[in-house]
Amino acid sequence: MELHVLNHPLVEHKLTVLRDKNTPSSTFRELVSELVMLEAYEATRDLSVVSTPIETPVAPMTGKKLASPRPIIVPVLRAGLGMLDGMTRLIPTAEVGFLGMKRDEEHPTQQITYANRLPEDLSGRQCFLIDPMLATGGTLVAATHYLAERGAKDVTAINIIAAPEGIKYVEEHIDPSIDFKVVVCAVDEKLNDKCYIVPGLGDAGDRLYGVID
């Protein structure tokens, strides 16, 4: 597993405002989109490209274009939807799939899959899993293996913040045959006894979309 933590003053500034409990949902959503664009720039560094001859207004040349098949972006519902706009702004030609998973509250590292909208065959596709929080690591491992069952071998996870315990769990449980990377804005202090990241930013889904009882 390859872990990349962004180190940039703009990321630190935006993340500080994002964490503030007094930041309204409208600002929170915009900041999530801006942060994921900064992360995506790093996460897409190894996108496959092909040489493409073109003519500029001055002369012919050979440039680069994204290779086929198109990369696929997979938000983990529901909080991952808040990151989708930033990703598609950077890669507008990418395909989008959806994966609904939630934590089993009695067994925090186990996940319940309740929805998916994904191609049956992901062979040869570069996949980007987006979810704001890497807490226990259970969702990320389950989601990555879900993609791998469909043939994916190149998966990059983009999370805004992570807990050390979650990173350790992913390192120990991710299938080593997968070319797997994680990009985060920050690694926080720890998980609390309810498996929430400390200091964290609260429940990302609730802060994006409001509390649902």
Q: Is 88 annotated as a binding residue?
A: no
Burial of 117 (0-12, 13-18, 19+ CB in 10 A): exposed
Cα separations (Å) of 120 from 14, 116, 149, 151, 152? 37, 11, 9, 9, 10
Q: Running DSSP on this structure, what letter comes out for residue 177?
A: T
Q: Is 124 annotated as a binding residue?
A: no
The span from the CA of 203 to the CA of 169, in Å, is 21
Nearest to 200 by CA among 147, 164, 157: 164
Q: Is 202 annotated as a binding residue?
A: yes
Q: Is 144 annotated as a binding residue?
A: no
Looking up tokens 């994204």, which residue turns up? 66
Q: Is 9 annotated as a binding residue?
A: no
The span from the CA of 75 to the CA of 88, in Å, is 11
Q: Is 137 annotated as a binding residue?
A: yes
Q: Is 103 annotated as a binding residue?
A: yes
Q: Is 134 annotated as a binding residue?
A: yes
Q: Is 175 annotated as a binding residue?
A: no
Q: Is 86 annotated as a binding residue?
A: no
Q: Is 206 annotated as a binding residue?
A: no
Q: Is 135 annotated as a binding residue?
A: yes
Q: Is 176 annotated as a binding residue?
A: no
Q: Is 197 annotated as a binding residue?
A: yes
Q: Is 121 annotated as a binding residue?
A: no
Write out the binding residues for uracil: 197, 202-204
From the annotation, which residues make up the binding site for 5-phospho-alpha-D-ribose 1-diphosphate? 78, 103, 131-139, 203
**Binding-site positions:** 78, 103, 131-139, 197, 202-204
